Amino acid sequence: MEESRCSCKQNGCIRLILGPMFSGKTTEMFRLCTRQKLAGKNVTIVKYAGDVRYDENMASTHDCKKMEAIAAKEIKEVFHDLEEADVIGIDEGQFFPDIVECAEQLANLGKIVFIAGLDGDFRREPFPCIARLLAFAENAYKLTAVCKRCGQAAPFTHRKIETNQIEVIGGEETYMAVCRDCYRDLNKTRFPNINEANGSPLMKTSEARISLSGIENCEPLQKRPRMLA
């Protein structure tokens, strides 16, 4: 007997997979996309075109697991291709300047959008587009890696090399995942005010003033150095 396919309309959504370098973000995105393929969905993966370490038409994990992908520097370049898909996986989401608007539009069209990306740079500064996406996503979770110094859970990324270059492409030779204590120890010379927030001493709990209506006097986020996860 011929199997009948469900004709129910798919609900669109945005799912964020966040974390530091080497935390398995791309691996998790691949798993979710493969699961959707097994369910008969048309899946398209987008990779950041600035990452030329691997095949041009393949997204890759650090341990060289690969899936076919289309390369772009802005989502709008390949938006027409994505309209044909049921499920979209976007790797290195922090690098796409138009990802918030495009992901929202795709989800509103009924697409399932998986986005893997760094939540913070090597200074633990947030990537603006990822911070904005949190308000639009149905689901977001943060993975951790393993600290390369002590073996504890590692939620942060340490840059091994001294450079102020905006975009630094690299793997284990350039970056390492670290825990809080190891991050502070490794960066106490690079960031003398590591126990301060935004250049000001951390406030004691009794001195903190929290506005229930939002964060007051919030300065615009500046352009952050880029890293490839």
Q: Annotated catalytic sites, by residue?
A: 92
Up-side HSE of residue 134: CA atoms within 13 Å toward CB?
Answer: 11
Q: What is the DSSP string of 84-138?
A: T-SEEEESSGGG-TTHHHHHHHHHHTT-EEEEEEESB-TTSPBPHHHHHHTTT-S
What's the one-letter identity of residue 217? N
Count the Cβ atoms, other than its own, within 10 Å of residue 83.
13
**Gap between the Cα atoms of 44 and 103, Å rounded:** 13
Residue 162, token pair as written in the block: 């001294």
User: In 3-state terms, what secondary structure has residue 182?
Assistant: helix
Among 144, 156, 141, 153, residue whose Cα is nearest residue 17: 141
